[in-house]
Amino acid sequence: MALVQALGKPAGLRTFGELADSFIDTVKSHRIHVLFDRYEERSIKEGTRVIRSGGVKTVRRIIFNMDVKLPDNWKSFIGLDANKANLASFLSEELLKDGCFNGKHL
Residues 33-64: tens digit of each pLDDT: 777 776 666 777 667 766 666 666 778 899 99
Domain ranges of the chain: 2-100
Average pLDDT over residues 84-94: 90
CA 37 centroid distance within chain: 11
pLDDT at 57: 75
pLDDT of 16 over the 80 cut:
yes
Is 7's pLDDT higher than 90?
no
Cα dihedral sign for 28, 34, 39, 44?
negative
Cβ atoms within 10 A of the Cβ of 18, count?
A: 15
User: What are the E-state strand segments in 1-106?
Assistant: 100-101, 104-105
pLDDT at 96: 83
